[in-house]
Amino acid sequence: MFLWLTSGGHPTKDATRARFYAARQGLHEPGKVVASARDAGSVRLGGMLTLFGASALSFMMLMYALERRHRLFVLAFALGCALSSAYGFLAGTWPFGVVELIWVVIALRRYFTLAGGPLVPGLRR
């Protein structure tokens, strides 16, 4: 009972409903599992989008870790935030995209207000 309440529906009814809509659209024949070329393309696109997002977030975190070394890393962090924002909007998670856009503005403001050179005394360029 608890599993049914937390899963959002009844497994048998949901499977029956899915088969009904697939048969209605001509995508399913009894006893056969049919995947359309469009589904395969969306899986590939989803994988590329995930790779882009993981790369953008990794780059952003690395630049954040290096921010204290030189002000150019602050600019690179802003670029990483912009890439992460693009990923958020492309993935359909617009709140994440908006938050990352705010971080772009914050990072650019920090970049333009900092003096040139390293941010930690003693570090060489």
- pLDDT tens per residue across span 24-76: 555 555 555 545 545 555 567 778 999 999 999 999 999 999 999 999 999 99
Q: Is 55 found in the same domain as 18? A: no
**Enclosing domain of residue 11:** 1-34
Residue pointed to by tokens 């994988």? 47
Number of domains within the chain: 2
Q: Is 94 found in the same domain as 62? A: yes
The pLDDT value recorded for residue 29 is 54
Q: Is residue 13 in some structural domain? A: yes
Q: Is 10 found in the same domain as 55? A: no
> Does residue 22 sit in helix, strand or coil?
helix
Cα separation, 36 vs 86, whole angstroms: 28
Q: Is residue 103 in some structural domain? A: yes
Cβ(107)–Cβ(60) under 8 Å?
no
Cβ(46)–Cβ(54) under 8 Å?
no
Provide mean pLDDT across the span 106-120: 82
Cβ(87)–Cβ(79) under 8 Å?
no
